[in-house]
Structure 1
């Protein structure tokens, strides 16, 4: 397989049309080899516009979503980032190149081990992978400059704002299938500003707090 041609096609046919135009992010897609973070049995699908099953119901985001999120959180190289849900470690790898330190938390121990192995193989040193349930955040390293949740929440996870530093940003996908909205929330002077980005549907975060739902 011609990986570099496939990577070029991915960028031109999937990534750019999804409004990912930041040259630093686009360059990272060539530097961090996505195929090295995909389960071996599905390696040839690494650059295809699709979610890739991992284990225990977890899925790797499609490439355009990973790239768009990396762009929208607007990292400058100095940030401390919390990633809720490590998966294969690929998004953490992208974020590591754009920030100072990434703290990633994965509820599935086997996935966490695989992510560590993938990150080690890519010689990435500024990502810490912990095993645990970070659905309500991860106070161990708080406060964070950026928090990214890789599973959806049914409602805005306001409890995460407490773990953001002043000026910090939260990327979250909120709603129930088939209507979910991706947003960046920015904490400013004790209040939160929401910027709605796009509609999508992803797997809910394991143990995401549920609102009271009335049945009639």
Structure 2
């Protein structure tokens, strides 16, 4: 399976580093997982630029540097069970699969889950379970999770997701009004409550309840 030309790959990694993605194992995985496999149609030739791109169902594939920063913020050791809310293209889940023990990824759009599964199979990523469900309620049957990552913006960290986070677990979620500036925050669950810290300003699609109308 051929990836991008070496020069393109170098520019891709340079963009990640220059925007704060510095953890070696995250950079290594982002070099190994070809973003081009997750971008289709007229935007395929822009797969290695550090920018978000449209995908099906009115969604986007996140900017690579944001994927890297969100992944880095999870502080993965390789032993975690991770919930991803918002499968989208599947790119973020593929990155996580190389850094965590198990990834559960949910999306409200059946088409996106179907297409992402096909790429996971192509890459032989057997530790990802992708399913169609309303991610705003998390995945109670698999809870609790060591890490939770949300790739759509909510006005506040969703209560059901906070409840499904283990003690000492970490959730990374964009928070804010969907049409205004959002902030990517990291939530740590402690014995007594939750600690919050801000990572960077971002723009994500809104976290919506219910399932998509696609088939």
Q: Is the 8 A contact 2:153 2:206 kept in 1?
A: yes
Aligned residues: 207
3-state SS in 2 of match to 1:56:
helix
Q: What aligned pairs does 1:68-147 form with structure 2 within 5 A after superposition?
A: 68-147=69-148
For residues 29 and 6 of structure 2, the distance between their equivalents in structure 1, rounded to whole angstroms, comes to 13
Q: What aligned pairs does 1:1-216 form with structure 2 within 5 A after superposition?
A: 3-12=5-14, 14-176=15-177, 177-207=179-209
Identify the residue that residue 213 of structure 1 maps to in structure 2: none
For residues 176 and 5 of structure 2, the distance between their equivalents in structure 1, rounded to whole angstroms, comes to 36
**Structure 2: segments with no counterpart, 5+ residues:** 211-215
For residues 67 and 128 of structure 2, the distance between their equivalents in structure 1, rounded to whole angstroms, comes to 17
For residues 142 and 4 of structure 2, the distance between their equivalents in structure 1, rounded to whole angstroms, comes to 41
Once the two structures are superposed, what CA deviation does each residue of 1:47-97 show, in whole Å capped at 9, x if it has no partner? 112211111211110111011111110100000000001011110010010
For residues 119 and 145 of structure 2, the distance between their equivalents in structure 1, rounded to whole angstroms, comes to 24
For residues 4 and 114 of structure 2, the distance between their equivalents in structure 1, rounded to whole angstroms, comes to 29
Once the two structures are superposed, what CA deviation does each residue of 1:95-126 show, in whole Å capped at 9, x if it has no partner? 01000000000111111000000111111110
**Structure 1: segments with no counterpart, 5+ residues:** 209-216
Once the two structures are superposed, what CA deviation does each residue of 1:123-154 show, in whole Å capped at 9, x if it has no partner? 11100001111112111211000011110001
TM-score, normalised with respect to structure 1: 0.91
Deviation at 1:9, TM superposition (A): 0.3
Deviation at 1:158, TM superposition (A): 3.1
Q: Is the 8 A contact 1:166 1:187 kept in 2?
A: yes
TM-score, normalised with respect to structure 2: 0.92
Write out the 4+ residue segments of structure 1 that deviate beyond 3 Å after TM superposition: none
3-state SS in 2 of match to 1:135:
helix
For residues 87 and 63 of structure 1, the distance between their equivalents in structure 2, rounded to whole angstroms, comes to 14
Deviation at 1:2, TM superposition (A): 5.2
RMSD of Structure 2 on Structure 1 (CA) = 1.5
